[in-house]
């Protein structure tokens, strides 16, 4: 049967199992919207800004592991998606972005609402396609989804000119796709895996350092199994939180700039670092020249370019993290005597770590009157459901969430790590809630970042998405203020928000519910009421204004040079 390009696009989405898309109409996608009007299988959610729509698709992808889908019109619609695309790219999130484009004969003419979105997004997409003939559309969509979700995942942009949406052709979706130039390595090299286990079992001070790659590869279970089998300490990056349960004795929680003292000390002292789906980001390594100075490094990653990019690696294993971990477990199980001896040999190391834990646990000074943000996070964990999904914005509240929430399951913390995008939290929660209508979804935001996409309150109310928005209000761009306090002599240049906003009234204006707590003893009740309400909610907590995120590795310092109290 012949169909127009717009219809073919939707048929392709259905074939890929897409049931929810976020998008915003306009002149060059109006034909797609016309087809959507009568399409029952795909739920379309209209955000109030394309950036938010893109973050929502990203949130859906992070929460589910599926490919998130966004539609935007050409020109300003397309450029509005750029921050969302870059956010997804930095954190390797699978996404397909469909942008309208001016009709092919007009491309290059500076036509109305024309931008070279492929050119603009080239450095922040995994790949992109300009569809120039409707006959190519189905194959391109198949390729786009394949590229987005395989190997190291990432966003793929499909630019679809208006005339291609109108042109007709026979629809046939390819069953499989073969790209001669794209064949990501999936299986870890067996010899390397054998060597890795033998190196690891010969070490005395091992640490597993786990990043978001373990979650993207759905390998949390295998990771936990291997670490339990070997009974080794595990630390995770911000994006790795949830890959290994933080409530286990072997968890060192998060490492890096605002990581725990004991994780960073372990990194500085280890003789065997096993990096799993992590990329040695500068927020994690601190000063590179003094990073893990005594360690042999094993690096497992699906992306060969991540390996040896910043640090030397003694044993690289390129492959799907899950596949590699499964084989490592088998290999370890084949040597029960060596494993037993290893467990024995690392006892002194583990008691050294226990010493660091006892000396400097994660902590804060509780206050009877002023609300401490860390207390709010602890109470949120306590009073929320066990499978709650938490998203954050970017700033101090993000770090307090990472430090104090205690994540035990993968895909339960959605946060912008690589790009650090303020404005991410609320729309990402929207995406997660759209994917899981029955689960509790909380976004923890600062008073600064929440205002960057606050318009999405309307989307939540309109679509019955009962996201719980927590605002830790210090009336500061707190994270920047903290740096100004510590490194710029308290010269608070442009970080005080000055204007207090009444978030309870704001919630009301959108048709949602607002609660506010100003004293410590109101926190629990506010959370209970907020979580119990069955629609979207704002819970505003007036927190200690100059509370700092600690401990901290100052920029450029080594991991073992943490500021513990300042």
Partner 1 sequence: MKHTISVLVENEFGVLARVSSLFSGRGFNIDSLSVAPTNDETISRITLETRGDEQILEQINKQLNKLIDVIKVIDFTDGSGIERELALVKVTAEDESRAEVLRIVDIFRAKIIDVTARSYTIETTGAPAKINAILELLRPLGLKELVRTGPVAIGRGSKGWKG
Ligand X SMILES: Cc1ncc(C[n+]2csc(CCOP(=O)(O)OP(=O)(O)O)c2C)c(N)n1
Which residues are marked as active site?
50, 112-113, 162, 479
Residue closer to ligand X, measured from CB, 84 or 478:
478
d(CA 316, CA 318): 6
Residue number, 213 or 373, with CB nearest to ligand X: 373
Angstrom distance (rounded) from CA 93 to CA 96: 10
The site that binds ligand X (CB under 6 A) totals a number of residues, namely: 20
CA atoms of 421 and 417, how far apart (whole Å): 8
CA distance 172 to 225: 43
> By CB under 8 A, what part of segment 159-188 binds partner 1?
179-182
Burial of 382 (0-12, 13-18, 19+ CB in 10 A): exposed
420 binds, among partner 1, Mg ion, ligand X, none (CB under 5 to 8 A by kind): ligand X
- Contact between 471 and ligand X (CB under 6 A)? no
Q: Least distance to Mg ion from the beta carbon of 471, Å?
A: 8
**DSSP states along 20-72:** EEEE---GGGHHHHHHHHT-SSSEEE--SSHHHHHHHHHHHHHHHSSPEEEEE
Distances (CA, A) of 56 to 22, 424, 552: 7, 8, 31
Q: Which does 554 bind (CB under 5 to 8 A by kind): partner 1, ligand X, Mg ion, none?
A: none
Q: What would the two tokens of residue 12 be?
A: 């392709």
Contact predicate 100/72, CB 8 Å: yes
The residue within the footprint of ligand X, chosen from 254, 472, 537, 562 (CB under 6 A), is 472
Helices (H) and strands (E) in the chain, counts: 23, 20
Please identify, using beta-carbon distances, which residue of 155 and 514 lies nearer to partner 1.
155
**Separation between Cα atoms, residue 232 and residue 451, nearest integer Å:** 42
Q: Does 447 participate in binding Mg ion (rule CB under 5 A)?
A: yes
Provide the minimum distance between the beta carbon of 102 and partner 1 in the complex, in angstroms, as a whole number.
16
123 binds, among ligand X, Mg ion, partner 1, none (CB under 5 to 8 A by kind): partner 1
Window 483-522: contact mask with partner 1 (x via CB under 8 A): ----------------------------------------
Half-sphere exposure of residue 133: CA atoms within 13 angstroms, side-chain side: 4
| Minimum gap (Å) between residue 148 Cβ and partner 1 | 11
Q: What tokens appear for 212 in the block? A: 């978001």
- Of the candidates 224, 215, 219, 273, the one whose C-alpha atom is nearest the C-alpha of residue 249 is 224
Q: Of the candidates 105, 109, 98, which has an alpha carbon nearest to the alpha carbon of residue 137?
A: 98
Burial class, 527, CB count within 10 angstroms (exposed 0-12 / middle 13-18 / buried 19+): buried
> Contact with ligand X (CB under 6 A): which of 224, 421, 520, 558?
421
Q: Choose the stretch contacting ligand X; rule: CB under 6 A; options: 63-71, 278-286, 387-395, 510-518.
A: 387-395
393 binds Mg ion (CB under 5 A): no
Residue 394, contacted partner among Mg ion, partner 1, ligand X, none, CB below 5-8 A by kind: ligand X
Binding mask 95-134 for partner 1 (x = CB under 8 A): -----------------------xx--xx--xxx-x-x--
**17 or 123: CB nearest partner 1:** 123
Tell me: does residue 351 bind partner 1 (CB under 8 A): no
Binder of residue 122, out of partner 1, Mg ion, ligand X, none (CB less than 5 to 8 A by kind): partner 1
- Of 335, 329, 337, 333, nearest in space to 225 by CA: 329
**Would you count residue 395 as binding ligand X (CB under 6 A)?**
yes
Residues that bind partner 1 (CB under 8 A): 118-119, 122-123, 126-128, 130, 132, 147, 179-182, 303-305, 308-309
Residues that bind ligand X (CB under 6 A): 393-397, 420-423, 446-449, 472, 474, 476-480
């Amino acid at each position: 049967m012949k169909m127009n390009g717009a219809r073919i696009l939707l048929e392709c989405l259905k074939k890929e199992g897409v049931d929810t898309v976020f998008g915003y109409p306009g002149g060059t996608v109006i034909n797609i919207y016309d087809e959507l009007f009568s399409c029952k299988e795909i739920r379309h959610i209209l955000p109030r800004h394309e950036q938010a729509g893109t973050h929502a698709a990203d949130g859906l992808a992070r929460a589910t592991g599926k490919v998130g889908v966004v539609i935007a019109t050409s020109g300003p619609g397309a450029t509005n998606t750029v921050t969302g695309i870059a956010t997804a790219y930095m954190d390797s999130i699978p996404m397909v972005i469909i942008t309208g484009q001016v009709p092919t004969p007009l491309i290059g003419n500076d036509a109305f609402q024309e931008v070279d979105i492929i050119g603009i997004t080239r450095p922040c997409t995994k790949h992109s396609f300009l569809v120039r003939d409707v006959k190519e559309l189905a194959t391109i969509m198949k390729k786009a989804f394949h590229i987005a979700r395989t190997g190291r995942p990432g966003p793929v942009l499909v630019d679809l000119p208006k005339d291609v949406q109108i042109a007709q052709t026979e629809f046939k979706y390819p069953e499989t796709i073969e790209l001669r130039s794209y064949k990501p390595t999936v299986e870890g090299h067996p010899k390397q895996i054998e060597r890795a286990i033998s190196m690891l079992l010969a070490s005395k001070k091992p640490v597993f350092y786990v990043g978001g790659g373990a979650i993207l590869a759905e390998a949390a279970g295998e990771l936990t199994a291997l670490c339990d089998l070997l009974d080794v300490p595990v630390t995770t990056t911000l994006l790795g939180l949830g890959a290994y349960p933080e409530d286990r004795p072997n968890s060192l929680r998060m490492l890096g700039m605002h990581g725990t003292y004991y994780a960073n000390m372990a990194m500085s002292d280890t003789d065997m670092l096993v990096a799993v789906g992590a990329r040695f980001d500068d927020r994690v390594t601190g000063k590179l020249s003094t990073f893990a100075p005594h360690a042999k490094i094993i690096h497992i990653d699906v992306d060969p370019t991540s390996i040896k990019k910043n640090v030397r690696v003694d044993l690289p294993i390129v492959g799907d993290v899950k596949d590699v971990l499964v084989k490592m477990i088998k290999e370890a199980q084949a040597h029960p005597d060596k494993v037993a001896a290893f467990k024995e040999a690392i006892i002194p190391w583990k008691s050294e770590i226990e010493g660091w834990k006892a000396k400097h646990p994660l902590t804060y000074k509780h206050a009877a009157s002023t609300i401490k943000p860390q207390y709010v996070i602890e109470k949120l964990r306590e009073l929320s459901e066990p499978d709650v999904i938490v998203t954050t914005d970017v700033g101090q509240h993000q770090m307090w969430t990472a430090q104090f929430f205690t994540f035990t399951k993968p895909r339960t913390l959605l946060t912008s790590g690589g790009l650090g995008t303020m404005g991410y939290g609320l729309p990402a929660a929207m995406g997660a809630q759209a994917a899981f209508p029955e689960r509790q979804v909380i976004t923890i935001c600062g008073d600064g970042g929440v205002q960057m996409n606050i318009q999405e309150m309307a989307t939540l109310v309109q679509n019955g998405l009962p996201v719980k928005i927590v605002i830790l209000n210090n009336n500061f761009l707190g994270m920047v203020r903290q740096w100004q306090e510590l490194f710029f002599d308290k010269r608070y240049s442009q970080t005080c928000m000055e204007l207090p906003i009444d978030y309870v009234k704001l919630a009301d204006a959108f048709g949602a519910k607002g609660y506010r707590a100003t004293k410590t003893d109101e926190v629990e009740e506010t959370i209970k009421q907020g979580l119990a309400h069955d629609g979207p909610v704002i819970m505003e907590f007036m927190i200690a204004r100059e509370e700092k995120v600690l401990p901290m590795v100052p920029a450029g310092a080594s991991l073992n040079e943490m500021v513990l109290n300042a």
